[in-house]
Chain A
Amino acid sequence: MKDISCKLLVIGAGPGGYICAIRAGQLNIDTVIVEAAKVGGTCLMVGCIPSKALIHAAQEYEKVEHFAAQRTPLGISVSEPEIDFSKTIAWKDGIVSRLNNGVAGLLKKANVKIVTGRARFRDGKTVEVETLTGQQVIRAENVVIATGSTPVEIPSLPFGGNVISSTEALALQKIPERLVVVGGGYIGLELGTAFAKLGSKVTVVEALPKILPQYDAELTRPIVKHINELGITILTGAKARGMSTKGDALLVETADGRDERIPADKVLVTVGRKPVTTGWGLEEIDLDMDGKFVRIDDKCRTSMRGVFAIGDVTGEPMLAHRAMAQGEMVAEIIAGENRSWDKRAIAAVCFTDPEIVSVGFSPEEAKQAGHEIKIGVFPFAANGRAMTQEGEEGFVRVVAAAGNHLIVGIQAVGQGVSELSASFALALEMGARLEDIAGTIHAHPTQSEGFQEAALKALGHALHI
């Protein structure tokens, strides 16, 4: 096969990789992207998008169940719902497929060449790709490593059989009767909650003393409350020991040292994700590492000239939107622009029920960073819009520097607060002070008023509490 030479080669067509390639194409950089699967990466294929589809379906199902059980104050009654789960999955697959085609179309429009196959470095400028039709050698002036991450496996619970990762959980053809989730982080709780709504008997096993350990207790309280209402059992401080010999139960050592056997049809292991640093020839180019991640500088440059790395393979936070921003920046750097990573805010959203959104410092983190802070909290119980959509649980919390009122962090928990992430991130990125938010008219009646009120609260003159 004839060798390809290009100015930019992107390895991995996840959100980081494909954005990098599209932007490079816009900048008239001769670009090739290599991907073993369909374009879109974890996010689009087996992550953000399909999980949100499943979460939506579960929420709709739960709503109707509430109506059927007359557990709604709205006076709506329907007969008992039924779900054809294979159709649900087909609908989800349809969305993924549309997005696959969409990304492929965007790459094509940007004149990016897509090579399907598994890439492997021969040296820092040359990559071999095993394609269906043979080996393709690609020589590039610049290479962007965007190989992403993969679910972490527990040695005593190897994936396979009834032990599944999030990838398989999103492709189940049948709703498991009994689902045990090992790992109470956001992925485990998002999926655990969805399956609980769909009728699974869900148990969450978390080794740490609390679930969603990266969030403070105030933020997680509404989640825990709702999880209990859904009948999900949470075992904190518990260690998964392995599967029973028959493979139909998880053996657990509880916090008080007892051995327990939790019957399970499926055991979903969501104990984190690890960067993909094998299988693409890292050993051939011997890059400097930062722990298990590829070390990068503020321009996403690795220790080798002309080799960049972006996304999950470069470290926390492992978020698609971070990877996309890195990819965009790297494309512009390769086009000769002067760019460096100067982002202030990367919002993180947890699509549990209710949702959590967090950007910048929590009060505790701000104190640890040496800030004298002011906090303003506004509960959705006092927000008209939240009341009218049965979403009174939760609040908006603003953390600001006491001296100059500069906002250093914003968190919210509540129904649909993921969409507030835009204004939260904008406030931090623009360097807003409490007065800026307080002085911006927020449309009534919306949940976003909670943001303005939280800022007013921090200033000492909230109007609605």
Chain B
Amino acid sequence: MGEYIIKLPDVGEGVAEAELVEWNVKIGDLVREDTVLAAVMTDKATVEIPSPVDGEIIWLGGEIGQVLAIGSPLVRLKIEGEGHVADAAPAKPVKAEAPTPAVDQKVQAPKAAEDKPKPVSAPAARKGPTAPSTFSANAPRGEGEKPLASPAVRLRAKEAGVDLRQVGGTGPAGRITHEDLEAYFARGSQKPGAAALAPDNSVKEIKVVGLRRKIAEKMAIAKSHIPHITYVEEIDVTSMEELRSTLNSNKRPDQPKLTILPFLMRAMVRAIADQPQLNALYDDEANVIHQHGGVHIGIAAQTPNGLVVPVVKHAEARTIWDCAAEVNLLAEAAKTGTATREQLSGSTITITSLGSMGGVVTTPVINYPEVAIIGVNKIMTRPIWDGTNFIPRKMMNLSSSFDHRVIDGWDAAVFIQRIKTLLETPALIFVDA
């Protein structure tokens, strides 16, 4: 028997450290070659670390959320045959470009007799101290009746933040005793079997790690650095919807289905041509605004892990079909978690859309260090007064936020009014001025 150390491999992109976001194994687990041991994250790419050998986990190199240096020990394994603690090779990450089979040639891992299932991890669940059997979850207590308890019990409950009305009393006349209070504390999150509603005082600790932590940090920076001004305008998209429907029914099979996003993206390109200051990154430490020629539109997308923002590069150089195809491609990559770092960075302005859940108004948070974000709200058919009659029109709100340090309210309004004009008369999007 020997010991084998797996070190945190170079996960690419020249990064020096990575954050541990997931352990797939625990001490005592038997792992086989290629079993995924852990996941680490750098910036926005998550990489799984497989085991290069068969063996038993005897040590884990960190806790979830910890940032580990590349090359530092990640896992220690007990393996058959001789270990080679001295010069253990780092494992290869699975998702690095052109992954190589992660087999360490020096170790002859015997495959036989290893098929037995993992032992059940813990001996049958250890029982905690059993609650007093006399405890009744709900003492008969009339509506509005004060819970009965001595001053000492009341003080203790108060200090523990317990509302005694929620505590059953086993004492005479339903008096709440110290034991009842203790039973209540011990019960914690456990729901009583009875149908009666019971309070849940459990607190689950969830470490904010990985993508969630990145989102949290970024949102905090955006909100603390940027004085947002949010501007909401109503847009009549009836014509655009007609056009979109026509285009979709006449499209070639190889062309993607158009959503409203490509229209909006093209309208933004047009409006940015007039007001390039909206397509910029503001380096507020250096006090420099980097106004970009290329319109790189971030599309905020929800994934199972949280928010990511894949970027459609050079929207100014793409046709509406091209935009649509790129959005589809990126959305798919983001959802499956296969988006590359390249695809997830470099935006100069962002669109946020909650799709059919778009609501009436949102107050979007700017994708720092950008200076503008355009929020798409839900399209709803509303009665509009045309001067003589109410007519049904497809209406959509745009809720957009701007960095008021560098974008004046007036300019923000002009920008949105320009987009409004373009979307309400969509031909303008396609006609050269």
Name A residues whose Cβ lies closer than 8 Å to a Cβ of B. Answer: 337-340, 342, 344, 401, 404-406, 429-431, 433, 435-436
Q: Are B173 and A430 in contact (CB under 8 A)?
A: no
Complexed CA–CA distance, A436 and B171 (Å): 12
The residue that A338 contacts in the complex, of B149, B150, B161, B174, with Cβ under 8 A, is B161
Known: A401-B173, A406-B173, A433-B172. 18 other contacts (CB 8 A): A337-B159, A338-B158, A338-B161, A339-B158, A340-B158, A342-B154, A404-B174, A429-B150, A429-B151, A430-B150, A430-B151, A431-B148, A431-B149, A431-B150, A431-B171, A431-B173, A431-B175, A433-B173
Residues of B within 8 A of A429 (CB): 150-151
Residues of B within 8 A of A405 (CB): 173
Complexed CA–CA distance, A342 and B153 (Å): 12
Residues of A within 8 A of B172 (CB): 404, 433, 435-436
What 1/0 flags go to B157-183 for Cβ under 8 Å of A?
011010000000001111100000000
Residues of B within 8 A of A430 (CB): 150-151
What are 13 sample pairs from A and B whose C-beta atoms fall under 8 A apart?
Answer: A337-B159, A339-B158, A342-B154, A342-B158, A344-B146, A401-B173, A404-B172, A404-B174, A429-B151, A431-B148, A431-B149, A431-B150, A431-B171
Output the least CB separation between A310 and chain B (Å). 19
Closest to A400 in B: B173
The 4 A-B residue pairs with the shortest CB-CB distance, nearest first, are A404-B173, A431-B148, A406-B173, A430-B150
Complexed CA–CA distance, A200 and B161 (Å): 58
Q: Are A338 and B175 in contact (CB under 8 A)?
A: no
Complexed CA–CA distance, A405 and B150 (Å): 16
Output the least CB separation between B63 and chain A (Å). 33
Closest to A406 in B: B173
Complexed CA–CA distance, A216 and B148 (Å): 27
Complexed CA–CA distance, A401 and B148 (Å): 13
Output the least CB separation between B301 and chain A (Å). 44
Complexed CA–CA distance, A430 and B155 (Å): 12
Residues of B within 8 A of A436 (CB): 172
Residues of B within 8 A of A404 (CB): 172-174
Output the least CB separation between B410 and chain A (Å). 39
Name B residues whose Cβ lies closer than 8 Å to a Cβ of A. Answer: 146, 148-151, 154, 158-159, 161, 171-175
Output the least CB separation between A422 and chain B (Å). 14
Known A431-B173, A431-B175, A433-B172; judge A406-B161 contact (CB<8 A). no
Complexed CA–CA distance, A429 and B175 (Å): 12
Closest to A430 in B: B150
Residues of A within 8 A of B149 (CB): 431
Output the least CB separation between A337 and chain B (Å). 7
Closest to A370 in B: B142
* Most B-side CB within 10 Å, residue of A337, A342, A433: A342
Known A429-B150, A430-B151, A431-B148; judge A338-B173 contact (CB<8 A). no
Residues of B within 8 A of A338 (CB): 158-159, 161
Known A338-B159, A435-B172, A436-B172; judge A406-B148 contact (CB<8 A). yes
Complexed CA–CA distance, A405 and B174 (Å): 11
Complexed CA–CA distance, A338 and B171 (Å): 25
Complexed CA–CA distance, A342 and B148 (Å): 11
Residues of A within 8 A of B175 (CB): 431
Complexed CA–CA distance, A300 and B392 (Å): 57
Residues of B within 8 A of A340 (CB): 158
Closest to A431 in B: B148
Residues of A within 8 A of B159 (CB): 337-338
Output the least CB separation between B310 and chain A (Å). 47
Output the least CB separation between B408 and chain A (Å). 37
Residues of A within 8 A of B148 (CB): 406, 431
Closest to B174 in A: A404
Complexed CA–CA distance, A404 and B169 (Å): 13
Closest to A435 in B: B172
Complexed CA–CA distance, A337 and B149 (Å): 20
Output the least CB separation between B35 and chain A (Å). 50
Complexed CA–CA distance, A37 and B151 (Å): 35
Output the least CB separation between B281 and chain A (Å). 42
Complexed CA–CA distance, A429 and B43 (Å): 61
Output the least CB separation between B39 and chain A (Å). 42
Complexed CA–CA distance, A103 and B172 (Å): 41
Residues of B within 8 A of A344 (CB): 146
Closest to B151 in A: A429
Closest to A403 in B: B173
Closest to A337 in B: B159
Closest to B172 in A: A433
Complexed CA–CA distance, A406 and B148 (Å): 9
Output the least CB separation between A328 and chain B (Å). 12
Output the least CB separation between B141 and chain A (Å). 10
Complexed CA–CA distance, A338 and B146 (Å): 19
Complexed CA–CA distance, A67 and B175 (Å): 52
Residues of A within 8 A of B154 (CB): 342
Closest to A342 in B: B154
Complexed CA–CA distance, A436 and B172 (Å): 9
Output the least CB separation between A325 and chain B (Å). 11
Residues of A within 8 A of B174 (CB): 404
Complexed CA–CA distance, A342 and B173 (Å): 19
Complexed CA–CA distance, A339 and B159 (Å): 8
Output the least CB separation between B176 and chain A (Å). 8
Closest to B140 in A: A404
Complexed CA–CA distance, A275 and B8 (Å): 75
Complexed CA–CA distance, A38 and B146 (Å): 41
Residues of B within 8 A of A435 (CB): 172
Residues of A within 8 A of B151 (CB): 429-430
Closest to B158 in A: A338
Output the least CB separation between B164 and chain A (Å). 9
Closest to B147 in A: A431
Complexed CA–CA distance, A386 and B350 (Å): 90
Complexed CA–CA distance, A344 and B164 (Å): 14
Closest to A340 in B: B158
Complexed CA–CA distance, A431 and B173 (Å): 9
Output the least CB separation between A458 and chain B (Å). 14
Residues of B within 8 A of A337 (CB): 159
Residues of B within 8 A of A339 (CB): 158
Residues of B within 8 A of A433 (CB): 172-173
Complexed CA–CA distance, A344 and B151 (Å): 9
Complexed CA–CA distance, A404 and B154 (Å): 21
Complexed CA–CA distance, A342 and B162 (Å): 14
Closest to B150 in A: A430
Output the least CB separation between B160 and chain A (Å). 9
Residues of A within 8 A of B173 (CB): 401, 404-406, 431, 433
Output the least CB separation between A425 and chain B (Å). 11
Complexed CA–CA distance, A401 and B158 (Å): 27
Output the least CB separation between B177 and chain A (Å). 10
Output the least CB separation between B292 and chain A (Å). 48
Complexed CA–CA distance, A433 and B149 (Å): 12
Output the least CB separation between A230 and chain B (Å). 40
Output the least CB separation between B146 and chain A (Å). 8
Complexed CA–CA distance, A233 and B270 (Å): 101
Complexed CA–CA distance, A342 and B150 (Å): 11
Complexed CA–CA distance, A435 and B175 (Å): 13
Residues of A within 8 A of B171 (CB): 431
Complexed CA–CA distance, A337 and B159 (Å): 8
* Most A-side CB within 10 Å, residue of B149, B151, B158: B151
Output the least CB separation between B280 and chain A (Å). 43
Closest to A339 in B: B158
